[in-house]
């Protein structure tokens, strides 16, 4: 029988000092955290910061992993604690390093690849973070809805069983409403990240409207990217 009881309600640092203070130490351990973001807001910078805290298993879907490692280091952050699981290469490339043109089984097969690695990670034990950059890749694949729900629920349950923090990045404005609501409903924590044009400038903002076991952050904060994520806690003056 599977036990879903959380081992504790202690906090896990986000790697962003000001944010940890606002969250009274960080995020609850055993949480599934959804980074729900506009891609132009550079939400990957948050993921890079989360990956500096403890051993991190980083599932990358959009680019080969060596380029992500390079981006992290160019931001002034360390990639020493990161083990990359290169979904991009597994899905798009064959054993000869060539792009796969047609393979009607690969959408299903990539879920088997993920299942294998998630089971390996759980068996390894210890304290760690898991990052999916992005979960949108899997939600857009041509597979039954039940398989997508299986992945979200597996991540949720595994976070609880291991008392570790699992981060999933979901892009805004690309998925059907029912899919978005399913992911947001299951998630313990939701980071809402967006960017808007104000006059001749762009302004990026962060809110955390949902966080189980802690008080949600009802206000929004400006942030900018410079050697990691920098949170601006000053209040706007009309």
Exposure string of 71-91, with b = 16+ CB inside 10 Å and e = fewer, is: ebeebebebeebebbbbbbeb
pLDDT given for residue 27 in this prediction = 97
Q: Say yes or no to pLDDT of 21 above 90.
A: yes
For residue 204, the model assigns a pLDDT of 93
Rounded Cα gap, residues 86 and 90, in angstroms: 6
For the question of whether the overall pTM of this predicted structure is more than 0.75, the answer is yes
- pLDDT tens digits, one per residue of 42-94: 999 999 999 999 999 999 999 999 999 999 999 999 999 999 999 999 999 98
Q: Is 3.40.50.300 the CATH number for 30-203? A: yes
Q: What is the pLDDT of residues 138-186, one digit of tens each?
A: 999 999 999 999 999 999 999 999 999 999 999 999 999 999 999 999 9
For the chain, domain boundaries: 30-203
**Residue 41: band (very low, low, confident or very high) from pLDDT cuts 50, 70, 90:** very high
**pLDDT over 70 at 235, yes or no:** no
pLDDT tens by residue, 127-138: 999 999 999 999
The pLDDT tens digits for 200-228 are: 788 999 999 999 999 888 889 999 898 88
What is each CA distance from 131 to 53, 57, 94, in whole angstroms? 12, 6, 24
Give 3-state DSSP helix, strand, coil % of the chain, rounded to 5.
Answer: 35, 30, 35
């Amino acid at each position: 029988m599977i036990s879903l009881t959380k081992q504790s309600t202690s906090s896990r640092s986000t790697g962003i000092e000001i944010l940890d203070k606002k969250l009274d130490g960080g995020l609850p351990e055993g949480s599934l955290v959804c980074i729900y973001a506009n891609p132009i807001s550079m939400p990957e910078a948050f993921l890079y910061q989360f990956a500096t805290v403890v051993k991190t298993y980083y599932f990358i879907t959009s680019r080969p992993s060596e380029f992500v490692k390079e981006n992290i280091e160019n931001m002034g952050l360390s990639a020493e604690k990161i083990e990359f699981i290169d979904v991009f290469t597994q899905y798009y490339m064959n054993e000869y390093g060539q792009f796969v043109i047609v393979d009607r089984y690969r959408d299903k097969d990539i879920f088997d690849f993920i299942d294998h690695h998630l089971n390996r990670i759980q068996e390894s034990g210890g304290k760690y973070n898991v990052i999916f950059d992005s979960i949108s890749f899997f939600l857009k694949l041509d597979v039954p809805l039940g398989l997508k729900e299986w992945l979200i629920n597996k991540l949720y349950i595994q976070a609880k069983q291991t008392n570790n923090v699992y981060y999933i990045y979901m892009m805004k404005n690309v998925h059907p409403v029912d899919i978005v609501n399913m992911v947001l409903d299951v998630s313990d924590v939701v980071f809402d990240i967006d960017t808007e044009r104000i006059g001749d400038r762009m302004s990026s903002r962060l809110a955390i409207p949902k966080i189980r076991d802690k008080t949600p952050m009802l206000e929004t904060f400006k942030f900018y990217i410079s050697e990691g994520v920098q949170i601006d806690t000053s209040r706007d003056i009309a």
